[in-house]
A and B are shown apart, each in its own frame.
Chain A
Amino acid sequence: MAGRKNNPAPEPDPQGGNPDSGSGSERDPRAGGIPNGGTLGGAGTLAEWLTNGGEACDVVLSSRVRLARNLAGHLFVHRAAKDERERVLQTCRDWILGANVCDRIMWVDLHESPQLDRNLLVERHLISKQHAKGKPAGSGGAVSPAADEPRAVAISIPDERLSIMVNEEDHLRIQMMHAGLSLEECWKHVSAIDDKLEAGLDYAFSPKLGYLTACPTNVGTGMRMSVMLHLPALKVTGEIEKVKRAATDMNLAVRGFYGEGSDAIGDLYQISNQTTLGKPEGAVLTELQDSIIPEVIQYERHARNTLLSKRRAALDDQVFRALGALTHARLIAADEAMQLLSLVRLGVVLGIIPNLSVQAVNTLFLLVQPAHLQRVLGKEMDQEHRRIGRAAMIRERLTK
């Protein structure tokens, strides 16, 4: 199996650039650079979870399944010195790029990427904040800034469904993200990729405790399933607190748009499993996909219908005020934009606002984020200029 080494870049690079060279910023996006915010409106470059609606897309933005895996015989990342991290990175890179995990794959060495590019990947949910920052090396290694620690991400392009983080908290974090409620597809897809990777990488595994992870909260399946939900009506009616409590009682985590510690900006919530030991992947899947998430969806839809039938004038007022603010503001912060976009999205799915697509609103959720905004506008800007530029971009996109 070690002999099966394909061309490291499954797709030849038409620009002649080295697909393995550090930052994607100097590469043509068509050839596999970091997804370029400036071309997001164009065909084929938008992440799949934003362009496709998917099942229950009135409430569910995306589904994700990630697997934590580590290589046997190596220290976990936080404890490993730079040279060991480099060896792990090399081993993983050789195998990931050769294992035919998807048609086209892009490799980004994050320790050689500019911060803006790393932030762009965070905003697209392709790497974690922690991975963007890096982790300081363990004892014994040469002291170097966390941001220089060898780490990378491999991303399937152009769909951006697959991302494999190397040297995050675990050696490998394999993530699959699809549009709408699609946990089963995500699980099948990511498990198949995991099979290809384990054929060449010796995973740390114990028959008793399963896949061994740096943190014991992930040991066992190493699997986290999560669904990103838009719950504006439950927020308005105050019932969101009930959902949160019920989820916590069922050992589920409820987090905001950008994961741990982030508030539910834009009424976007991620619900995910926490238990990874003693419960097989299929059981977690059934529980979330067939029971818990559909209940939350019904709950939100019911709240929306109640607003429509009992508080229509107030609902219309809120929705159109939000649209008015977005189309007339001259300075706007990302959080405020997200909150207003949430109401506009609600207005669109309920048919209150005609001539605007859910996808257009979903896309704006992403484009108003600082790194995307700066990429779209083609320059780095201070906060005030970002607010001006953000307001202008939103106006242009919502009024054309």
Chain B
Amino acid sequence: MKCESCDNEATVHDTLLREGAWVEVHFCEACAAKQGIAQPGASLNDLLTNFVLPQIAGEAAKRPKPAKARTPVCAECGFTFEQFRQAGLFGCPSCYTAFESLLLPLLERAHEGAMQHVGKVPKRITEAASGKESVNGARALAERRERLEREKLLRRQLDDAVKSEQYELAAKFRDQLQRLLDSSRAADPSRNA
């Protein structure tokens, strides 16, 4: 099978939300990386290491083959990401945490690029947040949100720079992104998926 964007062999197969419907897509690794599609089990960091960074360095041919796809499992309900792809539905609320790293690109596509809820919040959450302990929680939430926004922006800029072959600029964004990801991991161990 051929890649949808070029003539290479398609090796990355994914199911994406497009205009509210699930569609099968097939890309070669390079094009998949450009589309922001991760291999099952790949975190953003893997994606960068395996696809984006070697490309920048012009080492695409030498890049390591991605690890054999592992399908993550929700510890709460036993649902696998593969099952989710087939059903289009999650097994339980905890699946959102279990599959977070795989989910964000999907969400971004389905919801005009957004990855953070804004709008109504159940009262018990707001009330809990008005307690002393949760003031910190709210601040942490705001910081995390800011980091995510920044991460999103950097990924876009990096992507654009690579597309327009501005490799110096790309390297700068890559370094910034790497620092941000490192500091996120330090600040928020839950993102260490």
Q: Contact residues of A with B, CB < 8 Å?
A: 70, 72, 74-76, 78-79, 169, 191, 194-195, 198-199, 202-212, 214-217, 219-221, 223, 248, 251, 253, 274-282
Contact = CB atoms under 8 A, between A and B. Distances in A.
Given A214-B90, A275-B111, A276-B111, A206 B96 contact: yes
B169 interface: no
B141 interface: yes
Contact of A279 (B20, B92, B112): B112
A78 B123 contact: no
Nearest to B140: A207
27 contacts: A75-B77, A76-B93, A79-B91, A79-B92, A206-B93, A206-B96, A206-B97, A207-B121, A207-B125, A208-B115, A210-B117, A210-B121, A212-B90, A214-B89, A215-B88, A216-B90, A216-B103, A217-B20, A220-B119, A274-B19, A274-B110, A275-B110, A276-B111, A277-B110, A277-B116, A277-B117, A278-B113
A217 B23 CA distance: 14
B68 interface: no
B121 to A, nearest CB: 7
9 closest A-B pairs by beta carbon, nearest first, are A278-B114, A210-B117, A204-B93, A280-B119, A277-B111, A212-B93, A214-B89, A79-B91, A221-B119
B124 A198 contact: yes
A76 B111 contact: no
Contacts of A212: 90, 93, 96
Most B CB contacts (10 A, CB to CB) among A74, A217, A221, A280 go to A217
Most A CB contacts (10 A, CB to CB) among B20, B91, B93, B144 go to B93
B118 A76 contact: no
A274 B21 CA distance: 11
B116 to A, nearest CB: 6
Contacts of B121: 205, 207, 210
Interface residues of B, number: 36
Question: Does more than half of chain B's interface fall in helix, strand or loop, or is it mixed?
Answer: loop
Given A207-B117, A210-B117, A277-B107, A76 B112 contact: no
B53 interface: no
Contact of A274 (B20, B107, B117): B20
B79 interface: yes
A72 B102 CA distance: 22
B112 A251 contact: yes
Contact of B122 (A79, A203, A276, A278): A203
A26 B8 CA distance: 65
Most B CB contacts (10 A, CB to CB) among A79, A191, A253 go to A79
A207 B119 CA distance: 10
A70 B90 CA distance: 12
B17 interface: yes
A204 B125 CA distance: 11
A278 B93 contact: no
A282 B124 CA distance: 21
A278 B141 CA distance: 15
A210 B90 contact: no
A191 B19 contact: no
A278 B118 contact: yes
A216 B20 contact: no
B132 interface: no
A217 B110 contact: yes
Contacts of A276: 111
A199 B107 contact: no
Contacts of A207: 117, 121, 125, 141
Most B CB contacts (10 A, CB to CB) among A194, A195, A216 go to A216
